[in-house]
């Protein structure tokens, strides 16, 4: 039975005479979850006709605009998908059902969508602080660097979101494009993974555990992706390792402004992962040493496990979540300097025993 009786004709939602969505067609529902249906007119109004001033960013699958819904005054992010190579209506709506089932504190919430004619738009909750990339990489002089405990919080949240997609969503979801620009932050720096326009359903138990329809981002892609062109759940784990390195080092995955041997973050880091004494050299200089050294070592060790060459050796995301849960999410407090030990007082000299003369024998 079709979940989309109102889309059986492949023309998008029915409209009332005013051009808005009818109440009957207002939502697509699957197992109690729902995504609101918007008309193109409603989203054009929300974004002021998709004007340049509303543009938040542009990626491989389309542009994202900030908008305000006229009826609720809610701020939203509207992703207008590129019309080139778009999925057909049935496939697109099936993806919407998948997205509407996904609900986790560390995943950006899908509010609704538009499928008017050849238009394909997704409406997400708006994240006030933008992306992790905006707050971590290439900071301007007036920007303060993220402190260690905020970086830990972001790593924890991103790992939890990815764990949900891999191990709790049914069927599992391959993210496919994890990177700092796709990790969005709310006003308390709580991270949420975004851009599920690229995420496709992962395999069930009877399917090959891979997808060749996904495209990752250079610098975050696992070695096997370069060889086979396929992304798997373990490819996501590798990408998380790269993201964790960015949080630790404050460097981009690929930075052509660096010296040739430092342009690829993973290649630059790999030799130092074998010597724990060099781990402090990997810490972002903007942290100014304000981090617990044991936590730095543990975070780098976790990244190293995620970046293993062989996919099967990489940990599951639940293992990563467990490891990161031991790191502190409270502000770093430098320990009080250890007082110099007071010198022990010199022992008093022991007096030499006086000898009692032995009387001579008569």
- The pLDDT tens digits for 74-84 are 999 999 987 76
Alpha-carbon separation of residue 262 from 137, 295, 296 (angstroms): 15, 24, 21
pLDDT of residue 20: 45
Which band of pLDDT confidence, cut at 50, 70 and 90, is reported for residue 349?
low
Write down the mean pLDDT value for the chain. 81
**Distance from chain centroid for Cα 350:** 71
| Long-range contacts of 136-141, Cβ-Cβ distance < 8 Å, separation of 24 or more | 136/180, 136/246, 136/247, 136/250, 137/180, 137/246, 137/250, 137/251, 137/252, 138/252, 139/286
Q: If pLDDT is split at 50, 70 and 90, which confidence band does 289 have?
A: very high
Structure tokens at 96: 């919407």
> What values do phi and psi take at 200, rounded to 5?
-115, 160
Q: Is 10 left (phi over 0), alpha (psi -120 to 50) or beta?
A: left
Please report which confidence band the pLDDT of residue 351 belongs to, taking 50, 70 and 90 as the band edges: low
DSSP label at residue 137: S
Read off the DSSP letter of residue 68. E
Dist CA 224 CA 233 (whole Å)? 12
- Residue 95 has a pLDDT of 78
Predicted local distance difference test score (pLDDT) of residue 32: 47
Q: Which of 25, 138, 177, 187 is catalytic?
A: 177
What's the rounded mean pLDDT across residues 176-205?
Answer: 77
In the predicted model, what is the mean pLDDT of residues 345-354? 54
Whether the pLDDT of residue 192 is over 90: the answer is yes
- % of the chain with per-residue pLDDT over 90: 57
How far is C-alpha 89 from the chain's CA centre? Answer: 29
pLDDT band at 9 (very low <50, low <70, confident <90, very high): very low
Do the beta carbons of residue 235 and residue 215 sit within 8 Å?
no
The structure tokens 């590129």 sit at: 82
- The closest alpha carbon to 194, from 183, 204, 208, belongs to 183
DSSP 47: T
The CA distances from residue 231 to 45, 202, 204, in Å, are: 38, 10, 15
Nearest of 324, 106, 87 to residue 201 by alpha carbon: 87
User: Rounded CA gap, 353 and 229, in Å?
Assistant: 91
Mean pLDDT in residue range 151-177: 93
Q: Determine the pLDDT at residue 156.
A: 97
CA–CA separation, 120 and 201 (whole Å): 19
Closest CA to 247 of 195, 198, 306: 306
User: Strand 27-30 relative to strand 33-37: parallel, antiparallel, unpaired?
Assistant: antiparallel
Whole-model pTM: value is 0.79
Give me the pLDDT at residue 353, please: 55
State yes or no: pLDDT of 275 exceeds 50: yes
Across 169-313, the runs of DSSP E, i.e. the strands, are 173-174, 183-185, 191-193, 200-201
Active site residue 177: yes
What is the per-residue pLDDT for 83? 73
- For the record, the structure tokens of 200 come out as 């496709």
pLDDT tens readout for residues 222-245? 999 888 888 899 999 999 999 999
Q: How many Cβ atoms from other residues are within 10 Å of residue 94's Cβ? A: 16
**Whole-number pLDDT of residue 293:** 94
Q: Report how far residue 128's alpha carbon sits from residue 189's, in angstroms, rounded to the nearest whole number.
A: 9
Q: Rounded distance, CA 357 to CA 360, Å? A: 9
> Stretch 307-312: mean pLDDT, rounded?
96
Average pLDDT, stretch 23-48? Answer: 75
Q: Rounded to whole angstroms, how far apart are CA atoms 95 and 30?
A: 12
pLDDT at residue 276 tops 50: yes
Which whole number is the average pLDDT over 151-178? 93
Residue 28 in this model has a pLDDT that exceeds 70: no
Comparing 14-28, 161-175, 277-291, 319-333, which segment has the lowest mean pLDDT?
A: 14-28
CA distances to 20, 174, 218, 307 from 266, rounded to whole Å, are: 50, 22, 12, 8
What pLDDT is recorded for position 87? Answer: 60
Angstrom distance (rounded) from CA 16 to CA 194: 32
Q: Which band of pLDDT confidence, cut at 50, 70 and 90, is reported for residue 259?
A: very high
Strand partners, 211: 231
Parse the chain into domains and list their residue ranges: 15-125, 132-324
Under DSSP, is residue 35 helix (H, G, I), strand (E, B) or coil? strand
Q: Does domain 132-324 have CATH number 1.20.1300.10?
A: no
Tell me how far apart the alpha carbons of residues 173 and 243 are, in angstroms, rounded to a whole number: 19
Q: For residue 88, name the pLDDT band (cuts at 50, 70, 90).
A: low
pLDDT digits (tens, 9 = 90+) for 114-162: 988 888 899 999 999 999 999 999 899 899 999 999 999 999 999 999 9
- Identify the CATH number of the domain defined by range 15-125: 3.30.200.20
pLDDT-based confidence at residue 101 (cuts at 50, 70, 90): confident
Contacts with 125 (C-beta within 8 Å, 6 or more apart), sequence order: 76, 77, 108, 109, 111
């Amino acid at each position: 039975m079709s979940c989309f009786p109102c889309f059986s004709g492949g023309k998008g939602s029915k409209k009332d005479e005013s051009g808005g969505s009818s109440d009957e067609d207002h939502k697509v529902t699957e197992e109690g979850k729902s995504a609101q249906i918007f008309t193109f007119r409603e989203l054009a109004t929300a974004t002021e006709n998709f004007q340049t001033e509303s543009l938040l960013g542009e990626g491989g699958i389309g542009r994202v605009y900030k908008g305000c819904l006229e009826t609720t005054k809610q701020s939203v992010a509207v992703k207008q998908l590129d019309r080139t190579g778009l999925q057909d209506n049935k496939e697109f709506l099936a993806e919407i059902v998948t997205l509407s089932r996904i609900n986790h504190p560390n995943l950006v919430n899908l509010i609704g969508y538009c499928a008017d004619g050849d238009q394909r738009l997704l409406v997400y909750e708006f994240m006030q602080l933008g992306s992790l990339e905006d707050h971590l990489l290439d900071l301007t002089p007036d920007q303060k660097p993220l402190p260690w405990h905020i970086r830990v919080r972001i790593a924890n949240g991103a790992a939890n979101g990815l764990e949900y997609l891999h191990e709790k969503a049914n069927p599992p979801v391959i993210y496919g494009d994890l990177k700092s620009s796709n990790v969005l932050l709310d006003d308390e720096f709580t991270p949420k993974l975004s851009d599920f326009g690229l995420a496709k359903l992962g395999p069930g138990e009877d399917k090959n555990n891979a997808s060749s329809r996904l495209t990752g981002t250079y610098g975050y892609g696992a070695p096997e992706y370069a060889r086979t062109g396929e992304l798997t759940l373990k490819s996501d784990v590798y990408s998380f390792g790269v993201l964790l390195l960015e949080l630790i080092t404050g460097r981009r995955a690929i930075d052509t402004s660096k010296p040739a041997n430092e342009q690829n973050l993973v290649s630059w880091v790999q030799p130092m992962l074998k010597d724990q004494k060099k781990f402090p050299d990997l810490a972002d200089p903007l942290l100014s040493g304000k981090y617990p050294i044991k936590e730095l070592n543990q975070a780098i060790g976790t990244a190293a496990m995620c970046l293993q060459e062989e996919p099967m050796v990489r940990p599951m995301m639940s293992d990563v979540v467990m490891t990161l849960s031991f790191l502190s999410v409270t502000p770093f407090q430098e320990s009080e300097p250890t007082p110099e030990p007071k010198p022990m007082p010199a022992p008093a000299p022991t007096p030499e025993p006086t000898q009692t003369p032995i009387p001579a024998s008569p």
